[in-house]
Amino acid sequence: MTDALSLVDDWGPEKIVVVSHRRTGMKGVLVIDNTARGIGKGGTRMSPTVTVTEVARLARVMTWKWASVDLFYGGAKAGIVADPASPDKEAVLRAFARALSNEVPREYVMGLDMGLTEDDAAVIQDELGDRGAAVGTPEHLGGVAYDKLGVTGYGVAETTDAAAGRLGLPLAGARVAIQGFGAVGSAAARRFAELGATVVAVSTAHGALHDPTGLDVDDLLTAREEHGDDFVTLPVRGTTLASGAELTVDCDILVPAALQDVIDHTNAHEIKARLVVEGANLPTSPDARTILAGRGVTVLPDFVANAGGVVAAAFAMDARYSGFRPDTTAIFETVSTRLRANTLTVLEEAERQDVTPHTAGRALAEDRVRTAMRSKGRIPRH
């Protein structure tokens, strides 16, 4: 309990719920960080290593992410301690949903994160008997399958294009390295190729591929479809590198789109990119960002760069009970418009104040959350 209390600050969390179920072995946590701007909304991840602290950090990112794109939902996140490849996955997921029936969907709406799929969102809806319990369900159930659509990765590429243009670094012809080739990284790579960038490195948990002249993105997408994450072990598509080496290859733009805490004080000096775009949540440490800023490297924050998923989730939230399927074209257009504009706003504000984009973007998001808290009497109005 001491550990949970140490997570509380002026912003939240408002609620931490730890649940378990002996028969299935389910253990999980829900963190509702700040709901001043609306109901808690954030993804649920499944991993054997999930911790309360990890979920709380991600819930806080969601608070800033919703505020950053100026959509009226609150920051929240959930995690289940389990192997997503386990044959007992559905039983664990159902036990988790039942354990949170007091909070879902009244205080928190589940979404998809690492380890969960569209069908898992459907299972949550089925278990709780409420279409409003989760978003990210398959299209044939009226949902917005934003992982399948690649909305988050698309948004990462759109923000990169906007940021690169602001920095005088045209994306067409720019060399891009991507850590992670899952739902976000692969969709980002596809969009980068469409925008004329040269993808020189990609990676999965099994290793990395590098070609300084450029990898064939279509070929990589096909190989991933056929071989899964093992495709990076096939050297015919480029030079095979150890996992993590893709972060320090010679490139113009680096997109860490896998896990948190991958760039810190130990490797920040080795980053060769001029622009780092946080496709994952929390991929850089504060120390790393200080080092990178001192070297003239711009880091675009996660709550700006990968907010495409929350824009799509907002469409899905609106459609939960209506019975109407959201317009996919409208989703992509809104992601591009909102994220590009927000990117430029944050970069311009950072330049005006002579601070990092993280500091500028966080200040903008904090101001919106603070204003909502004050209006609702959660902090003194004076």
| Binding site, annotated residues for substrate | 41, 65
Dist. CA 100–CA 95, nearest whole Å: 9
* DSSP code of residue 269: G
The pair of structure tokens assigned to 193 is 């190729």
Burial (Cβ within 10 Å: 0-12, 13-18, ≥19) of residue 144: buried
* DSSP code of residue 202: E
Q: Closest Cα partner for 152 from 41, 302, 309, 303? A: 309
Helices (H), the chain: 2-5, 52-68, 89-99, 118-128, 146-149, 151-166, 183-194, 217-227, 286-294, 302-305, 308-319, 328-353, 357-375
Rg (CA), the chain: 20
Cis peptide before 13 (omega within 30 of 0): yes
- Torsion over CA: 103, 104, 110, 114 (sign): positive
Output phi, psi for 48, to 5 deg: -65, -15
List the binding residues.
Answer: 41, 65, 152
List the binding residues for NAD(+).
Answer: 152
Classified as helix, coil or strand, 59 is: helix
Q: Closest Cα partner for 72 from 281, 382, 376? A: 376
Q: Which residues are catalytic?
A: 77
How far, CA to CA in Å, does 19 sit from each of 16, 94, 98, 129, 211?
Answer: 10, 12, 10, 20, 46
Dist. CA 63–CA 142, nearest whole Å: 27
* DSSP code of residue 204: E
Q: Closest Cα partner for 184 from 112, 125, 84? A: 112
